[in-house]
A and B are shown apart, each in its own frame.
Chain A
C-alpha cells in the first residue's frame, strides 16, 4: 500500500474521533438519565477498593456485604455501619442494604442500647443501698429522676405505649435535657456522686435509643431517594414507624405509597392496621374490604365484621376502647 493511502487511513481514524466524542456526550447524558453512573469508593487496605478500580463494583459491594453479614452474626453491630454506608454508596439501588441497614439501626442496635438500661438500673440500686442513711436521703431526687427515666423508656417501647411518634420526640428530648440538668446539679454533692453518675448513664439510654431509631428511619429515607419506584422501602419505612415507633400517622403515610406499586398482600393488611391505630377507622374498613378477595380474605372478613360491630379490630385499639380485657 502506498504512503498516501496509508496516511488517508490514519486521517480517517483520527477523524472518527469526532463522532466518537459527540456520541460520548450523548452516552454521558443517557447514563445520568438512566441512573447508570458508577460511584467511586476507595477503601485503603480493602480488596474491595481495588475491585472498584477495575469496574467490578458489584463484586466489591458483595465482599463488603459478606463482611456486614459476618459482623452481624458476631453481634458487632457498630462495625457494620461504615460498611453499610460503603455498600449503599457503591450500589444505591441494592434495596436489601437499605432495608437491612435500617433494621439493624432501628432494631438491633436499639436493642443493644436498651440492654444497658437493665444493667444501669441494677448498679443504681446496689449503689443506693450501699449509701449511708443520710446520703440515701440526699439521693432521693436522683432515684426519682431514675424512676422517671424508666417510665419514659416504657412509654417509648411498651406494647400499649405512646411510642416514638415524630411529634412526641421534641418533648421527650426536652424532658431528657431537664433530667440531665438536674443530675448535673446533684452531681456537685460529693456524697451522692457515684449514684448520680449511674443515673446519668441511665439517662443517656433513651437518648441513644431515640438516636438509633431515628438513624434507622433516616437511613431508610435516604435509600428511598434512590428507589422511589418500588414498594420495598416505603413498606420498610411504614413498618418501622408502625411497629417500632408506633408512629401511626407516618406509618400510614408511607404504607399508602407502598401500595401504589406492585406489592405482596400483607402490605395492604399492615396499612389497614395503621389506618385504624391512627384513628382513621373508615379508611381502615375500606382497606380491609379491598382485601376480601385476596390471600388475607379470612382476616379481612373478621376485620370488617369487628369494625362494623365494635368500631375496632386491632387488639391494641380494642383494649384501649375497653372492648377486650387488658
Chain B
C-alpha cells in the first residue's frame, strides 16, 4: 500500500504541475461565477440557475480533468520511459495501477473541492446556504468522476490515447442514455434483443445513477439509502475497472 501511495503522490504532484489543470479550473470557476449574471430573473429562478450551472460545471470540467489525468497516467510514463525505472524497482504493476487511481482520485477531489468552495460562496452571497442535499449531489458527482477516471485508466493499459479519449466520452454519453435505452427495451418482444440489452445495461456504467443534480435543484430530497446504494455501485464498478486495468497491464509487455 505504501508503494501505491508513493505512486499516488507522484501522480498527484505531476498533475498539479500541469497547466491544463489550472486552465480547466479557472475556466470552470469563471463559468460558475458567470451564473450570477442571471440576476435579471426572479430570486428563486436565479438560485436554480446558479445551482444548475455550478453542478454541471463541476461535473463537466471534473470529467475533463478525470479523463485527461487518466489518459496521461500510463502513456506519459511510457513516453518518458520512466515506467521502466519504476517497474524495475520493487513496485508491482498492481501497485502502479492502484497508485495511479488514488493519485487521480485525489486530483479530482481537489478540483471538486475548489469548485465547490466557489459554488458555496456564491450561494452564501445569495443568502441561500447550501443544505445537505447539495453536498450529497457533489459527493455523487465526485464518485462518478472517479469512476470515469478509473475506466479511462483501465482502457489506457491496452489502448491508444486517441481511442481511449473517444471511448471515454462515448461511454459518458451512453452511460447517461442507457436508462432510456432500457425503457425502450422493455417494449420489445424479441427475447434475444431483450437479453442482449439487459446484459449491456449491466455492463455499461450507468452514470444516471449518480445524476441527482436536476432533482435536487427543484427541491426533491434524496435518501441516504439511495446515496449508500449508489456509492456501493460506484465502488464495485471502480473495482471492476481497476481489476480489468491490472489484468491488461499485467499482460502488456513493458
Contacts and interface: CB of A to CB of B under 8 A. Distances in A.
A1 B164 CA distance: 25
A30 B48 CA distance: 24
B243 A13 contact: yes
A198 to B, nearest CB: 41
B198 to A, nearest CB: 8
Interface in A94-116: 94-96
Contacts of A65: 45
Contacts of B138: none
A36 B215 contact: yes
Which of B201, B218, B244: most chain A CB closer than 10 A? B218
B49 A91 contact: no
A19 B232 CA distance: 10
Interface of A: 1, 6, 9-10, 12-13, 16-17, 19-21, 23-24, 26-27, 30-31, 34-38, 40, 53-59, 61-62, 65, 69, 90-91, 93-96, 230
A1 B236 contact: no
Contacts, number: 127
Contacts of A56: 56, 59-60
B45 A9 contact: no
29 contacts: A1-B93, A1-B94, A6-B247, A10-B243, A10-B244, A13-B240, A13-B243, A20-B202, A20-B240, A21-B202, A24-B206, A27-B209, A34-B222, A37-B179, A38-B211, A38-B214, A40-B180, A55-B176, A56-B60, A58-B52, A58-B55, A58-B56, A58-B214, A59-B52, A91-B217, A91-B218, A93-B218, A93-B220, A94-B48
A62 B211 contact: no
Given A34-B226, A54-B60, 10 more contacts: A6-B250, A10-B244, A17-B240, A23-B233, A30-B225, A34-B222, A34-B223, A58-B51, A62-B52, A91-B214
Interface string B16-48: 000000000000000000000000011011001
B222 A9 contact: no
A90 B215 CA distance: 10
Given A9-B246, A26-B229, A53-B176, A94 B218 contact: yes
Contact of B53 (A16, A59, A95): A59
Contacts of B246: 9
A1 B53 contact: no
A42 B22 CA distance: 34
A10 B209 contact: no
Interface of B: 41-42, 44-45, 48-49, 51-53, 55-56, 59-60, 92-94, 172-173, 176-177, 179-180, 201-203, 206-209, 211-215, 217-223, 225-226, 229-230, 232-233, 236-237, 239-240, 243-244, 246-247, 250-251
Contacts of B236: 16, 19-20, 23
B3 to A, nearest CB: 15
A93 B221 CA distance: 11
A94 B229 CA distance: 26
Contacts of A61: 52, 214
A115 B208 CA distance: 47
Given A30-B225, A53-B177, A20 B233 contact: yes
A54 B247 contact: no
Contact of B173 (A10, A31, A54): A54
Contact of A62 (B49, B202, B225): B49
Contacts of B44: 96
B162 to A, nearest CB: 21
A106 B230 CA distance: 43
A233 to B, nearest CB: 13
A74 to B, nearest CB: 15
Contacts of A16: 236, 239-240, 243
A211 to B, nearest CB: 28
Contacts of B60: 54, 56
A53 B213 CA distance: 15
Contacts of A95: 218-219
Nearest to B242: A13
Contact of B243 (A12, A20, A35, A37): A12
Which of A27, A58, A94, A96: most chain B CB closer than 10 A? A58
Contacts of B52: 58-59, 61-62
A27 B229 contact: yes
A53 B179 CA distance: 11
B215 A35 contact: yes
> Closest 6 CB pairs between A and B?
A58-B52, A13-B243, A55-B176, A93-B218, A21-B202, A58-B214
B152 to A, nearest CB: 16
Contact of A13 (B51, B218, B247): B247
B219 A93 contact: yes
Given A27-B230, A38-B208, A20 B237 contact: yes
Given A34-B222, A65-B45, A24 B55 contact: no
Nearest to A13: B243
A62 B250 CA distance: 47
B176 A54 contact: yes
Contacts of A54: 60, 172-173, 176
B173 A53 contact: yes
A7 to B, nearest CB: 8
